[in-house]
Amino acid sequence: MDNYQTIVGLGRDAIDTPALLIDLDALERNIKRMADFFATVPAALRPHTKTHKTPIIARKQIEAGARGITCAKVGEAEVMVANGVDDVLIANEVVGATKIARLMSLARHAKLTVAVDDPRNVAELSAAAQAMGATVGVLVEVNVGMNRCGVEPGEPALQLSRQVLESKGLRYRGLMGYEGHVVAMPDRQQREAACLKAMKLLLDTRAFVEAAGIPVEVVSGGGTGTYDITGRLPGVTEIQAGSYVTMDSAYGRLNLGFEQALTILVTVISRPSRDRAILDAGMKAMAVDHGTILPKGLPGATVAPRLSEEHARLDLVDVDLRPGDKIELIPGHGCTTINLHDQFYGIREGRVETVWQIAGRGRFR
Ligand SMILES: Cc1ncc(COP(=O)(O)O)c(C=O)c1O
């Protein structure tokens, strides 16, 4: 925590750049807005913490009513459990002896659930659980149209569910299906129609598995773009939305009602001409995988789409900016941008209130 003691209480411009800022009021309102929605439906929120990778934010989400958290990787889950989170879904396949051993160690310290889509993986998880005296919850992942992981709906999901049910050391909990091909569709009606089509595959599979006599306790899916579509469906029990807490420009286009809490503070390092300024942050500080990076509160400025490693170009029309000025940018994709940084600077009323370590960043194993 390099400059924690000297920076707290100072104004935003005292922060060296590039730096990630969190508007704490906006973050808290986003957490509350999502919690308020889940107070009105039977499904619970299990926020995906791959967005912020920061235990204190996970804790705030849980304090606001979230059932537990979702992680993408064992490494993320290790960080969260070590910081007191006790109920984690790894919404992903955990494959290979090394990771499975870590998973089972972790399962001795927290309630863990993992996704599966392969019979050999199920056998390996079961053998490791027995060898280590651990129990891990399991969701069978169903492909609901994203064509990433997951068995096909219906019979293949039933067969794998049976295998899990019969496997020692594993506790069959139900089904998961992530409609990732749908969550970012800009048009609400199209998104809703596509989402219902995807989730029908999952809910029909639930009915099919239950008709075979297997109780399905958990049906998990959903993202920020679909939380209030999937989250209202009878039979869905948990929603994995993550990005809502910080937001980014890609989700901003969907007008979901969440506020942009995350920005990147950058410094102008050069003003070579009237129509351009150069910033001290490039693709090593801001992800470029999707979304458009937007200058905050600077009409007349746009960020040129091609970033250098350590530079970005601002194209300007009548904007007064000079070397040394600090401005904020809205990331195109929050999750991958946050993963590039060690710390969040929590800002309230223009001052640094806190510095949070992004303890799970880079934990991709
Ligand atoms: C398995 C899974 N669940 C949920 C999400 C939801 O994330 P978001 O809220 O960013 O849409 C993601 C995003 O990548 C995911 O991979």
CA distance 212 to 303: 55
Nearest to 176 by CA among 197, 199, 210, 193: 199
Q: Which percentage of the chain shows pLDDT scores above 70?
A: 99
Is the pLDDT at 4 greater than 70? The verdict is: no
User: Which mutation among 183, 220, 244, 289 tests ligand 1's pocket best, with the greatest number of atoms within 8 A of CB?
Assistant: 183
Say if residue 1's pLDDT is above 70: no
Report how far ligand 1's centroid is from the alpha carbon of 242 (Å). Answer: 6
Distance (angstroms) between ligand 1 centre and the Cα of 239 equals 9
* Token digits of residue 365: 């194993």
Q: Ligand 1 center to residue 147 CA distance, Å? A: 14
- CA 48 to ligand 1 centroid distance, Å: 6
Contacts of residue 170, defined as CB under 8 A and 6 or more positions apart, other chains included, come to: 122, 125, 126, 129, 135, 136, 137, 138, 164
Evaluate if residue 30 carries a pLDDT over 90. yes
The token pair that represents 303 in the structure block:
């960020």
The pLDDT, as a whole number, for residue 3 is 59
Q: Are strands 87-93 and 69-71 parallel, antiparallel or unpaired?
A: parallel
Residue 95 vs residues 54, 221, 308: alpha-carbon distances, Å? 25, 21, 35
User: If DSSP codes are grouped into helix, strand and coil, which group holds residue 223?
Assistant: coil
**Rounded distance from Cα 86 to ligand 1 centre (Å):** 20
Any idea what the Cα angle at residue 195 is, between residues 192 and 197, rounded to 5°? 110
The minimum-distance atom of ligand 1 relative to the CA of 334 is: 10
**What pLDDT digit, counting tens, does each position of 163-197 carry?**
999 999 999 999 999 999 999 999 999 999 999 99
Residue 144: alpha-carbon gap to chain centroid: 19
Q: Tell me phi and psi for residue 244, to 5 degrees.
A: -55, -25
- The string of pLDDT tens digits covering residues 322-343 is 999 999 999 999 999 999 999 9
Task: Kindly report the protein residue whose alpha carbon is nearest to atom 14 of ligand 1.
Answer: 180
For ligand 1, pick from 146, 178, 185, 248 the residue to mutate: most ligand atoms within 8 Å of CB. 178
In angstroms, what is the span from residue 223 Cα to ligand 1's centroid? 5
C-alpha 101 – ligand 1 centre gap (Å): 25
CA 144 to ligand 1 centroid distance, Å: 14
Give, rounded to a whole angstrom, the gap between the first and last alpha carbons of the chain: 24
CB 146 within 8 A of CB 178: yes
> Span 226-255, mean pLDDT?
98
Q: What are the Cα distances from residue 236, in Å, to 43, 45, 88, 240?
A: 6, 11, 18, 11
Ligand 1, from 38, 45, 50: best to mutate by most atoms within 8 Å of Cβ?
50
Whether pTM exceeds 0.95: yes
Nearest atom, ligand 1, residue 222 CA: 4
Q: What is the DSSP letter of 267?
A: E
**How far apart are alpha carbons 178 and 162 in whole angstroms?**
21
Could you tell me what percent of the chain has a pLDDT over 90?
Answer: 98
Kindly indicate the confidence band of residue 216, based on its pLDDT and cuts at 50, 70 and 90: very high
Compute how many other C-beta atoms are within 10 angstroms of the C-beta atom of residue 342. 15
Burial of 186 (C-beta count, 10 Å sphere; 0-12/13-18/19+): exposed
202's CB contacts (< 8 A; 6+ apart) are: 142, 144, 153, 175, 177, 219, 221, 236
Query: Is 61's pLDDT higher than 70?
Result: yes
20: pLDDT strictly greater than 50: yes
Query: Which residue's CA is the nearest one to ligand 1's atom 3?
Result: 240
Mutate to test the pocket of ligand 1, among 34, 48, 191 (most ligand atoms within 8 A of CB): 48
Atom of ligand 1 nearest to the CA of 335: 10
Q: How far is the CA of 132 from the centre of ligand 1 (A)?
A: 31
Ligand 1 neighbours by CB, cut-off 6 Å: 48, 51, 91, 178, 180, 183, 223-225, 240-243
CA of 11 to the centre of ligand 1 (A): 34
Q: List the residue whose alpha carbon is closest to atom 5 of ligand 1.
A: 223
Which of 5-9, 45-49, 90-94, 249-253 shows the lowest per-residue confidence on average (mean pLDDT)? Answer: 5-9
- 345 CA to middle of ligand 1, Å? 24
Beta bridge partners of 235: none
